[in-house]
Amino acid sequence: MVAFPNCKINIGLNIINKRPDGFHNLETIFYPINWKDALEVISNKSADTDITYSQTGLVIPGNTTDNLCVKAYHLLKQDFPAMPSVKMHLHKALPMGAGLGGGSADAAFALRMLNETFELGLNRQQLINYSLQLGSDCPFFIINKPCYATGRGEMLEEVVLDLSAYKILLVNPGIHINTGWAFSQLTPGAKSHDLRELIKLPVAQWQDRIDNDFEKPVSAAHPAIAAIKSKMLAEGALYAAMSGSGSTVFGIFEKELLPDLNFPAEYFYKWV
């Protein structure tokens, strides 16, 4: 089985408070984006090891045993010991540490694929429960539709939001943002607005109303991020913001008014 894990952007991201378990309660809108990795999972019944993992594309730092796709397999294997050995190959196209949730998407898709391939019979809520053990963004990719998220990000409510009438530009300057550091820069607090209501406004009215709590401190530490956002807005973006804890910036543009933007060669950028 082959699948194509897509990334996401955050439209608004408010950090409400720190929880006793060390995580943070948040409020955000997750929106799926058509920029994808590729993941293949096949049965490998004759293998001496549970999982044979390989990868191509962008280099993923760290040990293979720490890869979230590998962890997804072992997580299910604990509860389904009869699940056969597999070969798993990931082609990585989504930049890492970018606020796009690429690793979380890979993990969630791995759970979904293993469930389907080996007929484990897990329903959506059960998959969400497993995925939360792999990362706070993972549950969204089980649903993979626009969602209002609270809690750690696992409390998901589908919302009506369709940006297909626009083009979205994603720009990542190749800066890896440490999520722990990013959280340490914040002073959490509840907001007076409700993102579910704000997204009902025309996109052109979002800029002064919908923000990302991480954007100010991360941009202060990395001025290139603020420069990307300013460039997008100057060139006609209806709305521009940083996604997640960074460092990717996205801009929403009218399809008929797309600018010819140039960025340094080391940047990742893509229109979707």
**Are 177 and 265 found together in one domain?**
yes
**Are 153 and 171 found together in one domain?**
no
Please report, for the domain that includes residue 21, its CATH number. 3.30.230.10
The two three-digit tokens of residue 78, written as one number: 């604990």
| Residue 137 designated active-site | yes
**Are 139 and 204 found together in one domain?**
no
Q: Which of 109, 132, 158 is the last residue of a domain?
A: 158
Whether the per-residue pLDDT at 156 is higher than 90: the answer is yes
**Are 93 and 213 found together in one domain?**
no
Question: Mean pLDDT, to the nearest integer, of 169-186?
Answer: 92
**What pLDDT was estimated at residue 179?**
85
Lowest mean pLDDT among 109-113, 129-133, 206-210, 263-267: 263-267
Whether the per-residue pLDDT at 166 is higher than 90: the answer is yes
Query: Per DSSP, which regions of the chain are E strands?
Result: 2-3, 6-18, 24-36, 38-43, 51-57, 86-92, 147-150, 155-158, 166-172, 239-242, 249-254, 268-271
**What pLDDT was estimated at residue 178?**
87
**What pLDDT was estimated at residue 120?**
98
Contacts of residues 178-184 at CB distance under 8 Å and 24 or more positions apart, as own/partner, are: 178/97, 179/245, 182/214, 182/217, 182/218, 182/245, 182/246, 183/15, 183/24, 183/245
**Are 206 and 143 found together in one domain?**
no
| Beta carbons of 26 and 148 less than 8 angstroms apart | no
Band the pLDDT of 192: cuts 50, 70, 90.
Answer: confident
How confident is the model over 75-121, as pLDDT tens digits? 999 999 999 999 999 999 999 889 999 999 999 999 999 999 999 99
How confident is the model over 2-30, as pLDDT tens digits? 999 999 999 999 999 999 998 899 999 99
How confident is the model over 35-85, as pLDDT tens digits? 999 999 999 877 778 999 999 999 988 888 899 999 999 999 999 999 999
**What pLDDT was estimated at residue 161?**
98
**What pLDDT was estimated at residue 214?**
96
Whether the per-residue pLDDT at 124 is higher than 90: the answer is yes
**Are 112 and 203 found together in one domain?**
no
Structural domain boundaries, residue 139: 2-158
**What pLDDT was estimated at residue 15?**
96
Q: Which of 116, 134, 158 is the last residue of a domain?
A: 158
Q: How far apart are CA 5 and CA 84, in angstroms?
A: 23
Query: Which one from 8, 36, 229, 231 is the annotated catalytic residue?
Result: 8
Please report, for the domain that includes residue 229, its CATH number. 3.30.70.890
**What pLDDT was estimated at residue 46?**
72
**Are 131 and 38 found together in one domain?**
yes
**Are 217 and 147 found together in one domain?**
no
**Are 133 and 211 found together in one domain?**
no
Express as a percent the part of the chain with pLDDT over 70.
100
Query: Which one from 37, 106, 137, 213 is the annotated catalytic residue?
Result: 137
Question: Mean pLDDT, to the nearest integer, of 254-260?
Answer: 93
Q: Quickly count helices (H) and strands (E) in the chain.
A: 8, 12
